[in-house]
């Protein structure tokens, strides 16, 4: 009798032949299991582009593996656990291996089943290595971690012993915080797009009617080949100008020089190592200035890996944190941008409906900032973002939203709350021109909600922040405002309008 094949179980965010257990699998000895869980797909009101992206990528990956000679059990099942049991009952595999999953819940599931877990190589810092780096330090600065990563991965390193940063500095952020240029807003080439095919259509037909947002139009790649095309295009056409306007926001250009690569990094179509290598190589060939190369590499080798490790260090309690006791239910404007007259917010939210994406500063300094200063419930806001974004996964959403954006962890991840008023948005964007609200006003019906709630936030939380060296000045400035009483009244009115969907 022929020996039963071993099974390699691949999760939907591990879609790469080089990852963990799959890296050593062979068509002669291994069958691949991929489970599409109907329960997971129907569990939330997902953005249609996000649901389509994840499911289509899985189905295409299964076909690629079949083309490479593997037997693939692509199993549509009610739940992951049920799908696993059905697979075992049907094939009685001699052994089942799985690469360490990327979420806490999936690891719990795997731990409860008879499977062999293989260490993951999907990230550039495994939690075991991070634990060694962290030792018994109470807190880890991203900057220290990033420098350590640069050295040990030998990225943009120089000097006799290769121990100095190329360009003489670790950080070129100062050159990368330029406001938007006054003109030439179409200088950044448009993102690549491809035509949808029968597989895309089939997935769309299979999705539940609860999905929302504009249907996919080929902006997001769903195969490794197309993701590689996007990577090449980014490195050649956009990376050279990545740095300068990294933090800028434009009403008329949603992408600027951002890579739009996060969805592929997060579901495995691209690997962090190859993205970092491509950027470092373009720099070495003289095609990209150091501020752009370093700025981009910092995001992946530094921030992305730091966030990944914060997740594993602090979960599962972390997801429940609400340090500032923010209990406002998710304001209606997040699910219906017509319910706000704030131009920055409605432009970005319309963009999210259109493409399940907005760039980092729009997430942090507009949407996240607004949720922070309006006292929105961190878990509700996280859930909304998670449902809405193309690149959302628990490991990256939870620390970015709860920690970086909402200070819900009491400063474990970010040492200050990223609160800001209309002045910041005006400096870094062109949204304020023509807005219904006046970003300079902090009282009256047309006072900018960002400006009013910014001051109100520091008054509400003066005790929590007056001793924080990074924001103590804002607290003291708020306390010294000449119109505190009137400002507080205006804030109250704005929050009422917000709850009523009339902000």
Ligand X SMILES: Cc1cc2nc3c(=O)[nH]c(=O)nc-3n(C[C@H](O)[C@H](O)[C@H](O)COP(=O)(O)OP(=O)(O)OC[C@H]3O[C@@H](n4cnc5c(N)ncnc54)[C@H](O)[C@@H]3O)c2cc1C
Q: Retrieve residue 222's tokens.
A: 């769903």
User: Do 344 and 359 contact (CB within 8 A), yes or no?
Assistant: no
Which of positions 364-393 make contact with ligand X (CB under 6 A)?
Answer: 364, 368, 385, 389, 391-392
With contacts defined by CB under 6 A, name the span among 259-267, 310-318, 422-430, 479-487 that binds ligand X. 259-267
User: By C-beta, is 93 or 403 nearer to ligand X?
Assistant: 403
Phi first, then psi, for residue 19 (nearest 5°) are -90, 130
Stretch that binds ligand X, among 11-19, 89-97, 142-150, 254-262 (CB under 6 A): 254-262
Figure out which of the listed residues 360, 383, 427, 460 binds ligand X, where binding follows CB under 6 A: 360
Residue numbers 166-185 binding ligand X by CB under 6 A: none
Q: Should residue 307 be labelled a site residue for ligand X when binding is judged by CB under 6 A?
A: yes
Nearer CB in complex with ligand X: 31/321: 321
Shortest CB 91 distance to ligand X, Å: 34
Q: Please, what is the minimum distance in Å from the beta carbon of residue 214 to ligand X?
A: 18
Backbone φ, ψ for residue 432 (5° rounding)? -70, -25
C-alpha distances out from residue 294 to 298, 367, 404, Å: 6, 27, 21
Closer of 32 and 235 to ligand X (Cβ): 235
* Angle ∠(72,271,379) on CA atoms, nearest 5: 90
Least Cα distance to 52 among 394, 355, 349 occurs for: 355
CA distance 455 to 487: 8
The answer to whether residue 59 forms part of the interface with ligand X (CB under 6 A) is no
Residue of 115, 348, 396, 453 interacting with ligand X (CB under 6 A): 396
DSSP β-ladder status, 164-165 and 157-158? antiparallel
- Sole window of 54-62, 177-185, 224-232, 302-310 interacting with ligand X (rule: CB under 6 A): 302-310
Cβ closest to ligand X, residue 84 vs residue 234:
234
Provide the pairing of β-strand 96-99 with 164-165.
unpaired
The label of the residue with tokens 């089943």 reads 113
Q: What is the Cα–Cα distance from 207 to 153, expressed in whole angstroms?
A: 41
Q: Which 86-115 positions form the footprint of ligand X (CB under 6 A)?
A: none
Q: How many CB atoms lie within 10 A of CB 130?
A: 21
**By CB under 6 A, is residue 259 in contact with ligand X?**
yes
Please check whether residue 124 is in contact with residue 301, taking contact to mean a CB–CB distance below 8 angstroms.
Answer: yes
Choose the stretch contacting ligand X; rule: CB under 6 A; options: 6-14, 112-120, 255-263, 332-340. Answer: 255-263
If one asks whether residue 75 binds ligand X (CB under 6 A), the answer comes out as no
What is the b/e burial string over 216-253, where b = at least 16 CB atoms within 10 angstroms of the residue's CB? beebbbbbbebbbebbebbbeebbbbbbbbbbbbbbeb
| Total of residues contacting ligand X (CB under 6 A) | 28
User: What is the rounded distance in angstroms from the CA atom of residue 332 to the CA atom of residue 315?
Assistant: 29
CB of 306 to ligand X, least distance (A): 8
Q: Is the CB of 9 or the CB of 311 nearer to ligand X?
A: 311
CA 74, CA 32: separation in Å to the nearest integer?
8
Taking alpha carbons only, the member of 120, 119, 98, 121 closest to residue 109 is 98
Residue 304 is a binding residue for ligand X (CB under 6 A): yes
Q: Give the whole-angstrom CA distance, residue 110 versus residue 123.
A: 19
**Which residues within the stretch 266-295 sit at the binding site for ligand X (CB under 6 A)?**
266
- Considering only residues 60, 355, 359, 461, which one is a binding residue for ligand X as defined by CB under 6 A? 359
Q: How far is the CB of 203 from ligand X (least distance, A)?
A: 21
Considering only CA atoms, which of 383, 350, 370 is closest in space to residue 498? 370
Smallest gap from Cβ 326 to ligand X, in A, equals 14
In the complex, what is the shortest distance from the CB of residue 223 to ligand X, in angstroms, rounded to a whole number? 18
Find the shortest distance in angstroms from Cβ 206 to ligand X.
24
319 binds ligand X, rule: CB under 6 A: no
- For ligand X, the closer CB: 260 or 435: 260
Interacting residue with ligand X among 49, 241, 267, 299 (CB under 6 A): 299
Question: Quick one: which segment of 90-98, 191-199, 297-305, 463-471 binds ligand X (CB under 6 A)?
Answer: 297-305
**Helices (H), strands (E): how many in the chain?**
23, 7
d(CA 309, CA 126): 8
Please list the residues that pair with 77 across neighbouring strands.
37
Q: Does residue number 261 form part of the binding site for ligand X (CB under 6 A)? A: yes
Task: Quote the CA–CA distance of 373 and 106 in Å, as a whole number.
Answer: 33
Least spacing, CB of residue 48 vs ligand X, in Å = 17
Neighbours of 37 (CB within 10 A): 18
Nearer Cβ to ligand X (255/461): 255
Q: Which stretch binds ligand X (CB under 6 A): 219-227, 396-404, 427-435, 440-448?
A: 396-404
Is 62 within 8 Å of 34 (Cβ atoms)? yes
Determine, following the binding rule CB under 6 A, whether residue 348 of this chain makes contact with ligand X. Answer: no
Q: Interaction with ligand X in 398-427: which residues (CB under 6 A)?
A: 400-401, 404-405
Site residues, ligand X (CB under 6 A):
258-262, 265-266, 296, 299-300, 303-304, 307, 359-360, 363-364, 368, 385, 389, 391-392, 396-397, 400-401, 404-405
């Amino acid at each position: 009798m022929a020996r039963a094949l071993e099974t390699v179980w691949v999760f939907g965010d591990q879609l790469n032949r080089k990852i963990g257990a799959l890296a050593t699998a062979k068509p002669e000895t291994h069958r691949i299991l991929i489970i599409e869980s109907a329960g997971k797909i129907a569990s939330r009101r997902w953005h249609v582009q996000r649901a389509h992206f994840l499911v289509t990528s899985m189905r295409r990956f299964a076909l690629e593996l079949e083309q490479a000679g593997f037997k693939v059990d692509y199993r549509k099942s009610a739940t992951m656990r049920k799908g696993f049991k059905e697979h075992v009952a049907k094939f009685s595999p001699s052994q089942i291996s799985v690469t360490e999953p990327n979420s806490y819940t999936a690891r719990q599931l795997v731990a409860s089943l008879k499977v062999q877990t293989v260490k993951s190589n999907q990230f550039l810092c495994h939690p075991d290595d991070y634990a060694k780096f962290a030792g018994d330090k109470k807190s880890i600065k991203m900057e220290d971690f990033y420098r350590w990563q640069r050295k040990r991965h030998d990225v943009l390193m120089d000097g006799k012993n290769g121990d100095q940063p190329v360009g003489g500095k670790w950080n070129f952020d100062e050159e990368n915080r330029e406001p938007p240029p006054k003109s030439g807003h179409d200088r950044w080439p448009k993102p690549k797009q491809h035509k949808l095919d029968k597989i895309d259509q089939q997935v769309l037909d299979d999705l539940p009617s609860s999905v929302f947002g504009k249907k996919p139009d080929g902006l997001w790649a769903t195969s490794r080949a197309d993701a590689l095309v996007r990577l090449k295009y980014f490195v050649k056409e956009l990376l050279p100008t990545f740095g300068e306007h990294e933090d800028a926001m434009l009403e008329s250009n949603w992408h600027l020089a951002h890579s739009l690569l996060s969805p592929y990094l997060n579901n495995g179509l691209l690997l962090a190592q190859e993205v970092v290598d491509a950027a470092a190589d373009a720099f070495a060939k003289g095609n990209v200035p150091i501020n752009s190369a370093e700025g981009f590499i910092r995001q992946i080798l530094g921030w992305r890996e730091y966030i990944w490790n914060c997740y594993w260090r602090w979960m599962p309690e972390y997801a429940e944190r609400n340090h500032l006791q923010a209990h406002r239910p998710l304001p209606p404007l997040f699910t219906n941008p017509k319910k706000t007259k704030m131009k920055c917010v409605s432009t970005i939210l319309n963009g999210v409906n259109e493409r399940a994406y907005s760039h980092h500063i729009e997430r942090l300094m507009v949407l996240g900032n607004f949720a922070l200063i309006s006292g929105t419930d961190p878990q509700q806001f996280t859930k909304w973002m998670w449902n809405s974004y193309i690149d959302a996964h628990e490991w990256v959403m939870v620390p970015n939203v709860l920690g970086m954006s909402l200070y819900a962890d009491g400063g474990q991840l970010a040492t200050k709350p990223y609160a800001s008023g209309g002045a910041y948005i005006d400096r870094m964007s062109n949204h304020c021109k023509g807005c219904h609200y006046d970003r300079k006003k902090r009282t009256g019906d047309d006072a900018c909600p960002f400006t009013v709630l910014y001051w109100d936030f520091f008054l509400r939380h003066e005790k929590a922040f007056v001793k924080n060296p990074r924001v103590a000045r804002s607290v003291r400035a708020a306390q010294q405002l000449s119109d505190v009483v009137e400002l507080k009244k205006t804030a109250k009115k704005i929050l009422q309008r917000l709850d009523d969907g009339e902000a």
